[in-house]
Amino acid sequence: MARAVTTQHKTIATAAAWVVALLIFFPILYTIITSFKSEQEAIQGFNLIPSGTFESYSEVQQQSGYFKFFFNSVLLSVGSTILALIVAIPAAWSMAFSPTKRTKDILMWMLSTKMMPAVAVLFPIYLIFRDSGLLDSRIGLTVMLMLINLPIVVWMLYTYFREIPGEILEAARMDGASLWNEIIYVLTPMAVPGIASTMLLNIILAWNEAFWTIRLTTTNAAPLTAFISSFSSPQGLFWAKLSAASTLAIAPILIMGWFSQKQLVRGLTFGAVK
Amino acid sequence: MKLRTLTLGLLSASALAFAAHAESITIATVNNGDMVRMQKLTDDFTKANPDIQLNWVTLEENVLRERVTTDIATKGGQYDVMTIGTYEVPIWAKQSWLLPLDKLGDDYDVKDIIPAIAGGLSVDGKLYAAPFYGESSFVMYRKDLMEKAGLKMPDAPTWDFIKQAADKMTDRANGVNGVCLRGKAGWGENMAFLTAMSNSFGARWFDENWKPQFDQPEWKNTLQFYVDLMKADGPEGASSNGFNENLALFQQGKCGMWIDATVAASFVSDPKASQVADKVGYALAPDNGLGKRGNWLWAWSLAVPAGTQKADAAEKFVSWATSKHYAELVASKEGWANVPPGTRSSLYANAEYQKAAPFAKMTLDSINAADPTHPTVKPVPYVGVQFVAIPEFQGLGTTVGQLFSAALAGQSSVDDALKQAQDAATAAMTEGGYIK
């Protein structure tokens, strides 16, 4: 009897999980479906079966070449992630293994920068970029993306590092490892799953970042967010083209997320249960 | 071998010299059909000007507005040509953010620009932006439904006639709404329509001393008429409908009348996109016999920001894109119906254009019926038909738009909406130093 209840519970839980997953995924699915419709079909109300035209994709590619934007997105998201890790690993190490009484406050203070609306600092940042000649430059935007995601990276790494017993690092020190050797040869290999999932999450965050990437770029450094934004039209029908542009923009990150979902889920739930 | 090396070297050097000489200009624009067409036709410009390269930045209208405003206010110099509207031009020109366009070329023919449009883009007699396409608003209606209702649309209808026709055409059982109007909140959405409409009711945003006028009976008449009309004859959920939503409804045969931008005529009469393409008639925007019609005036225009380092190349491009030659180029490649409308008188005198665009005369009449320098029945201290050309208007217009949209949705009464609008406008004008 108990077994039957468990099976029943499992079935209900699985069904509920599917319903929730479908609900969450539905907007993306409908975007993909709409991208295969003509503009007229796209506005004619709810319809799950498209005519299967590639018209929007060809128009989107013709109007503004996808690959230039794609290349920038890859460069910015990967570049900013690597840069963030270079800064965040030592910072998280210090907070996890040599905490002071102010460590918690520093962590909270770092996170508090994420609570501020980005537009509040638009003008100062814009002026700094203008005066440093960084407007529309990949370097400037890479640094910017690194900075805005840094609090999350430090927090995640800090959580992972705290799971690693300090004794192992002490042992390495006893064996004569220098600080850098300790971080590079002992800590980093042990924290690889954590670092990998932080990396993946940060790439996704940087890929999807649409405030600064649109406002600090014009042509040279513009990534896929700017590409999508260019297909919305104040006068005229654009849903199918906008959907095609969105599908093209999210496809790479969606595929990457699909393949690395195990690492992502593991990373996100790491340390949640002790 | 040596000769080949030398030749290659010379070729590379000349290529480098050319690349160094070529000047690239960055153009910020919106994703409208006419703008997209212009991007496709730029070969014509670059062939004639091989030393100028063009970079395009296409953005959603609100993002574009925010981006170019940030750039021009900080003299960021990111753009050499900006696509801006009649709202921005007088404000930015007064701030010396734009360069006057006085080198458009001998054959440009500035006098050919429709006077109402040129007036909206000039300050102290100097043109600060060249119109790429211009529009007013008018009534688009279903001739078949009008006939069925036993009515005949006059060329210049009154609001009472519109109400009478809408009541008769509404057939909700068959999904037909007598009239579709903008309801979505925004200074460029419902407030463009309502401000233009209020002009024909004798209302105004401010009196000569910048005192807000939402507490006056003219505004009450405007908003009450609009809300009553939409409740009786408008589509469901009208408070979230903007241009595109109403376009879709009209194209699907769900609107008897639609009062909106003249540029919509080419969409609703396109048989590929519209189910009612052969049944559409056009009339001037309605009035109340007070001397002003409820139509607006807008022109997407190309301007050169004062911060650019490449003013000559930028102006050369502006001249090309807004010239008579460009109109002929579009006509030769894509037909006269696709030429950007509403900017040059010569286009409307062209027999081929008149044939290709049956709405041409009504568009020109509508544009000519709008006067941005004297937009209202009573005198006002501002310029602009469907907007007030002051920097505070974007924020204030959207706030008032939200209040009026809520009144349409039934979330507040007309009186409450007007009272709150009056309070919001008074606060904004006091803060801006217009009133004490």
- Predicted confidence (pLDDT) per residue in B202-253, tens digit: 999 999 999 999 999 999 999 999 999 999 999 999 999 988 889 989 999 9
Residues B236, B123, single domain; the answer is no
pLDDT digits (tens, 9 = 90+) for B180-209: 999 999 998 999 999 999 999 999 999 999
Q: Which amino acid is at A185?
A: Y
Q: What local confidence, expressed as pLDDT, does residue B9 receive? A: 57
pLDDT digits (tens, 9 = 90+) for A182-202: 888 888 888 888 888 899 999
Residue B219 and residue B215: Cα distance in Å, rounded?
7
Residue B143 and residue B423: Cα distance in Å, rounded?
43
pLDDT of A272 > 70? The answer is no
Residues B352, B389, single domain; the answer is no
List the one residue out of B302, B341, B356 whose CA is nearest residue B83. Answer: B302
List the one residue out of B301, B382, B393 whose CA is nearest residue B98. Answer: B301
Whether residue A12 is contained in a domain is answered as no
Residues B81, B164, single domain; the answer is no
Q: What percent of chain B has pLDDT over 90?
A: 75
Among partner residues B76, B188, B267, which is closest to A130 by beta-carbon distance? B76
Residue with tokens 């568009």: B363
Q: What local confidence, expressed as pLDDT, does residue A132 receive? A: 94
Please classify residue B35 by burial: count the beta carbons closer than 10 Å to its beta carbon, then call 0-12 exposed, 13-18 middle and 19+ buried.
Answer: buried
B23-37, B164-178, B225-239, B323-337: least confident range: B23-37
List the one residue out of A204, A208, A166 whose CA is nearest residue A187. Answer: A166
Whether residue A250 is contained in a domain is answered as no
Whether residue B363 is contained in a domain is answered as no
With H, G, I as helix, E, B as strand and everything else as coil, classify residue B5. Answer: helix
B386 falls in which pLDDT band (50, 70, 90)?
very high
Whether residue B48 is contained in a domain is answered as yes
Q: What residue numbers bound the domain in which B82 lies?
A: 20-128+298-356
Residues B62, B167, single domain; the answer is no
Whether residue B371 is contained in a domain is answered as no
Q: What local confidence, expressed as pLDDT, does residue A273 receive? A: 46
Residues B84, B119, single domain; the answer is yes
Q: What local confidence, expressed as pLDDT, does residue A260 receive? A: 82
Candidate ranges A72-86, A181-195, B16-30; pick with highest mean pLDDT: A72-86
Tally the residues of chain A: 274
Please provide the average confidence, as pLDDT, over all residues in chain B: 91
pLDDT of B2 > 60? The answer is no
B18 falls in which pLDDT band (50, 70, 90)?
very low
Task: Measure in Å the smallest separation between the Cα of A43 and chain B Cα atoms.
Answer: 7
Q: What local confidence, expressed as pLDDT, does residue A270 receive? A: 61
pLDDT of B19 > 50? The answer is no
B409 falls in which pLDDT band (50, 70, 90)?
very high
pLDDT of B144 > 70? The answer is yes
> A263: phi > 0 → left, psi -120 to 50 → alpha, else beta; which?
alpha
Residues B290, B382, single domain; the answer is yes
**A266 or A209, which is more confident:** A209
Q: Do A218 and B39 touch (CB under 8 A)?
A: no
Phi and psi angles of residue B256, each rounded to the nearest 5 degrees, phi first: -75, -40
Domains identified in chain B, total number: 2
Segment holding A144, helix H or strand E: helix A138-163
Phi and psi angles of residue B296, each rounded to the nearest 5 degrees, phi first: -105, -175
Residues A182 and A172 sit within 8 Å (Cβ to Cβ): yes
pLDDT of B413 > 70? The answer is yes
Residues B261, B320, single domain; the answer is no
Residue A160 and residue A142: Cα distance in Å, rounded?
25
pLDDT of B354 > 50? The answer is yes
Residues with Cβ within 8 Å of residue A93, at least 6 apart in sequence: A161, A183, A187
Residue A108 and residue B202: Cα distance in Å, rounded?
57
Tally the residues of chain B: 436
Residues B54, B105, single domain; the answer is yes
Give start and end residues of each alpha helix (H) in B49-154: 61-73, 88-94, 115-120, 143-148
Residue A115 and residue A118: Cα distance in Å, rounded?
9
Domains identified in chain A, total number: 1
Q: What local confidence, expressed as pLDDT, does residue A5 receive? A: 64
Among partner residues B26, B36, B267, which is closest to A63 by beta-carbon distance? B36
With H, G, I as helix, E, B as strand and everything else as coil, classify residue B56. Answer: strand
Longest dimension (CA), chain A: 73
Picking from B244, B247, B255, B309 by the largest number of A CB atoms within 10 A of its own CB, the best residue to mutate is B244
Residue B28 and residue B36: Cα distance in Å, rounded?
12
List the one residue out of A43, A40, A35 whose CA is nearest residue A60. Answer: A35
pLDDT of A12 > 70? The answer is yes
Whether residue B2 is contained in a domain is answered as no
Phi and psi angles of residue B154, each rounded to the nearest 5 degrees, phi first: -75, 160
pLDDT of A267 > 80? The answer is no
Residues B209, B346, single domain; the answer is no
Q: What local confidence, expressed as pLDDT, does residue B191 receive? A: 95
Residue B124 and residue B120: Cα distance in Å, rounded?
11
Residue B16 and residue A20: Cα distance in Å, rounded?
59
Is the pTM value of this prediction over 0.90?
A: no
List the one residue out of B381, B353, B345 whose CA is nearest residue B116. Answer: B345
A98 touches B: beta carbon within 8 Å = no
Whether residue A234 is contained in a domain is answered as no
pLDDT of B8 > 60? The answer is no
Q: Do A237 and B247 touch (CB under 8 A)?
A: yes
Whether residue A145 is contained in a domain is answered as yes
B16 falls in which pLDDT band (50, 70, 90)?
very low
> B100: phi > 0 → left, psi -120 to 50 → alpha, else beta; which?
beta
Q: Which amino acid is at A16?
A: A
With H, G, I as helix, E, B as strand and everything else as coil, classify residue A230. Answer: coil
Residues A184 and A177 sit within 8 Å (Cβ to Cβ): no
Whichever domain contains B349, its CATH number is: 3.40.190.10
Residues with Cβ within 8 Å of residue A107, at least 6 apart in sequence: A95, A154, A155, A158
Residues B188 and B292 sit within 8 Å (Cβ to Cβ): no
List the one residue out of B436, B415, B418, B342 whose CA is nearest residue B133. Answer: B342
pLDDT of B5 > 50? The answer is yes
Cα–Cα distances in angstroms (integers) from residue A144 to residues A17, A214, B19, in the given order: 37, 12, 31
Whether residue B100 is contained in a domain is answered as yes
Number of A–B residue contacts, CB under 8 Å: 90
Whether residue B88 is contained in a domain is answered as yes
Average pLDDT over residues B79-96: 93
Residues B75, B105, single domain; the answer is yes
Among partner residues B59, B251, B261, which is closest to A235 by beta-carbon distance? B261
What are the counts of helices (DSSP H) followed by strands (DSSP E) for chain A? Answer: 15, 0
Query: Nearest-CA residue of chain B relative to A232?
Result: B60
Residue B249 and residue B256: Cα distance in Å, rounded?
10
Relative orientation angle of helices A66-97 and A239-259, to the nearest 10 degrees: 40
Segment holding A163, helix H or strand E: helix A138-163
Phi and psi angles of residue B388, each rounded to the nearest 5 degrees, phi first: -115, 120
**B189 or B22, which is more confident:** B189
Task: Measure in Å the smallest separation between the Cα of A233 and chain B Cα atoms.
Answer: 5
Task: Measure in Å the smallest separation between the Cα of B181 and chain A Cα atoms.
Answer: 15
Task: Measure in Å the smallest separation between the Cα of A251 and chain B Cα atoms.
Answer: 22
With H, G, I as helix, E, B as strand and everything else as coil, classify residue A133. Answer: coil
Residues with Cβ within 8 Å of residue B299, at least 6 apart in sequence: B85, B86, B117, B120, B121, B129, B131, B132, B133, B134, B135, B342, B343
Residue B193 and residue B215: Cα distance in Å, rounded?
19
Phi and psi angles of residue B374, each rounded to the nearest 5 degrees, phi first: -135, 70
Q: Do B66 and A215 touch (CB under 8 A)?
A: yes
pLDDT of B15 > 60? The answer is no
Residues in A closer than 8 angstroms to B56, CB to CB, are 64, 219
Instruction: Give Cα B387 to chain centroid, integer Å.
Output: 11
Whether residue A7 is contained in a domain is answered as no
Whichever domain contains A108, its CATH number is: 1.10.3720.10
End-to-end CA distance of chain A: 31
CB atoms within 10 A of CB B72: 24
pLDDT digits (tens, 9 = 90+) for A27-76: 999 999 999 998 878 877 788 888 888 989 988 888 778 899 999 999 99
Residue B133 and residue B113: Cα distance in Å, rounded?
11
ipTM over 0.90: no
Residues B33, B86, single domain; the answer is yes
Residue B268 and residue B275: Cα distance in Å, rounded?
8
pLDDT of B12 > 60? The answer is no
Average pLDDT over residues A143-157: 94
Average pLDDT over residues B155-177: 95
Residues B108, B199, single domain; the answer is no
Q: What residue numbers bound the domain in which A216 lies?
A: 65-229
Q: What percent of chain B has pLDDT over 70?
A: 95
A230 falls in which pLDDT band (50, 70, 90)?
confident
pLDDT digits (tens, 9 = 90+) for A94-129: 999 889 999 999 999 998 988 889 989 998 999 999
DSSP 8-state symbol, B99: -
pLDDT of B54 > 50? The answer is yes
Average pLDDT over residues B73-97: 91
Task: Measure in Å the smallest separation between the Cα of A40 and chain B Cα atoms.
Answer: 6
Residues B409 and B417 sit within 8 Å (Cβ to Cβ): no
